[in-house]
Amino acid sequence: MGVWPSRWLGLLLLVFLWGSSSPASLLRRLREHIQQFQESSGLGLSLSPEAVALPKEKWLEQPLDPFNASDGRSFLQRYWVNDQYWASQDGPVFLHLGGEGSLGPGSVMRGHPAALAPTWGALVIGLEHRFYGLSIPPGGLDMAQLRFLSSRHALADVVSARLALSRLFNVSSSSPWICFGGSYAGSLAAWARLKFPHLIFASVASSAPLRAVLDFSEYNEVVSRSLSTPAIGGSRECLAATSAAFAEVERRLRAGGAARAALRAELGACGSLDAVEDRAELLGALQALVGGAVQYDGQAGAPLSVRRLCGLLVGAGGNCSRPAPYHGLRRAVQVFTHSLGQRCLSFSRAEAVAQLRVTEPQVFGVGDRQWLYQTCTEFGFYVTCEVPRCPFSQLPALPSHLELCEQVFGLPTSSVAQAVAQTNSYYGGQTPGATQVLFVNGDTDPWHVLSVTGNLGPSETAILIPSGSHCLDMAPEKPSDSPSLHQGRQNISQQLQTWFRLAKESQVRVAV
């Protein structure tokens, strides 16, 4: 069982480079690109003597349906272990949770929590999320299988892994387990402490969107604000240039004929732009490109920062007439697609739907079908641009997102809205009521509006990093990190110190 995923790894990487480029998948590919860049640049993936010895991947057998004891089916879940700093059997365990994508050995070697492990003598474990990366159950990704994919199933895996790995590594029953995670995995980290406080001692939830939402128009509100923020290279001129560039794209789309054909070639659209839905795909991909520059601003491996994007859009002369911003946007597309190895910026809607319907993991790359299923059945998170403050196209995007749930999975719109409401009811949204959880966010990150950015109580605290982007605190440290980021990481370390003091006090009380 443990070797079958390697057979299709090559195809998986091929599809990562040439697969569907719908707006949502573009952001996910950007995240994967940044993650891989940071891991490869920091782990010495070379043949030099100084290269870091990477931990070998390990496999844990997990029940496919943890909520049905009579179902004997199982799957192999991938994980990694870094024990080089583990000082004693009763030392802390840092459990780095994977989210809606593949996890790698960098999860236990670089960034948080690996950077904190030497200070506390911690054992570091990285656990890949079920149905992502190579932790895909035998049988593929059809609807009969996907019903075992949810945040609740993922939390059950955390519990099972916590118990099994404690036995496997002879971890002391007094060792505090701390969950770490970023983005959706950050939400899982918080929810693991919320639902299983007897097993998870505390959690650090970075850029965690705790509130599920159907229409995520707030995303582009933060993007607009960030594009005009001088501290990260934005300006009012940049925001105006962004609007001008998108207005020019729409003008050329409406013109049709030669103007539309030139636009297709210049902005990297695969296939014709004659259909309304295909034009919407292109506009959505352009929005994702700009949103991605904001979401991952300043991170190593990101092809575009806000400063660089604004430099392209505004130009040296600050000209916001139609041609200059459009040509800047065109150049930004070239930088983006080249960096990610994308053949095209956008594909046709029909092609995107066809790829999302594929159920064989051998030909489906970074988890697009799986994550779409989770958004349709739990979270929503559909980024729209229908408010006047949005600098992009004013297309009615929400119906298009919901239509995708029906086209790919046969799920009606009403069921998606109901699923979002149920998720918030089950986990508590932005007031989960957990204890010993630290929420970490950056105010540049569009996702921080769905997280917790202020203290909810003495044991439910928050850090908001000025000019911080998505999961920036989890990235490997570099000399150019801002003072506010340094301070944020220091605050995380101080919170860990407080938690470990509580753990020792609790052990003393038990002993007495």
Which tens digit of pLDDT belongs to each residue from 164-216? 999 999 999 999 999 999 999 999 999 999 999 999 999 999 999 999 999 99
- What local confidence, expressed as pLDDT, does residue 111 receive? 83
Is there a single domain that holds both residue 274 and residue 132? Answer: no
Domain membership flag for residue 19: no
- What local confidence, expressed as pLDDT, does residue 15 receive? 36
Domain membership flag for residue 1: no
Q: What DSSP character marks residue 54?
A: P
- What local confidence, expressed as pLDDT, does residue 506 receive? 76
- Closest residue by Cα to residue 503 from 204, 203, 202: 202
| Distance from C-alpha of 96 to C-alpha of 189, rounded to nearest angstrom | 9
Count of structural domains, the chain: 2
Least confident of 20-24, 391-395, 438-442, 501-505: 20-24
pTM: predicted TM-score of the whole model, two decimal places: 0.92
Query: What six digits make up the tokens of 54?
Result: 């990477």
Is there a single domain that holds both residue 395 and residue 366? Answer: yes
Which tens digit of pLDDT belongs to each residue from 126-162? 999 999 999 999 988 999 999 999 999 999 999 999 9
- What local confidence, expressed as pLDDT, does residue 347 receive? 84
Mean pLDDT of all residues in 104-118: 91
The answer to whether residues 453 and 441 touch, using CB atoms and an 8 Å cutoff, is yes
Domain membership flag for residue 6: no
Is there a single domain that holds both residue 241 and residue 188? Answer: no
Is there a single domain that holds both residue 408 and residue 461? Answer: no
Is there a single domain that holds both residue 388 and residue 270? Answer: yes
Give me the residue label for tokens 């001692």: 201
Which tens digit of pLDDT belongs to each residue from 277-295? 999 999 999 999 999 999 9
Which tens digit of pLDDT belongs to each residue from 214-232? 999 999 999 999 999 999 9
Is there a single domain that holds both residue 333 and residue 405? Answer: yes
What CATH number has the domain bearing residue 163?
3.40.50.1820
| Distance from C-alpha of 336 to C-alpha of 93, rounded to nearest angstrom | 38
| Distance from C-alpha of 43 to C-alpha of 51, rounded to nearest angstrom | 7
- The catalytic residue positions are 183, 445, 470
Is there a single domain that holds both residue 449 and residue 400? Answer: no
Mean pLDDT of all residues in 76-83: 97
Tell which wins on pLDDT, 43 or 327: 327
Out of 386, 420, 454, a domain closes at: 420
Domain membership flag for residue 31: no
Domain membership flag for residue 380: yes
Band (pLDDT 50/70/90 cuts) for residue 509 is: low
| Helix axes 184-195 and 151-168, enclosed angle (nearest 10) | 70
Is there a single domain that holds both residue 242 and residue 282? Answer: yes
The answer to whether residues 340 and 29 touch, using CB atoms and an 8 Å cutoff, is yes
Is there a single domain that holds both residue 240 and residue 350? Answer: yes
- What local confidence, expressed as pLDDT, does residue 321 receive? 52
Domain membership flag for residue 24: no
| Distance from C-alpha of 30 to C-alpha of 462, rounded to nearest angstrom | 27
Domain membership flag for residue 153: yes
- Closest residue by Cα to residue 442 from 424, 463, 423: 463
Domain membership flag for residue 507: yes
- What local confidence, expressed as pLDDT, does residue 362 receive? 54
Which tens digit of pLDDT belongs to each residue from 360-404? 875 445 799 999 999 999 999 999 988 777 888 776 688 989 999
**Helix %, strand %, coil % of the chain (to 5):** 50, 10, 40
Q: Give me the domain span that covers residue 328.
A: 214-420
Which tens digit of pLDDT belongs to each residue from 237-252? 999 999 999 999 999 9
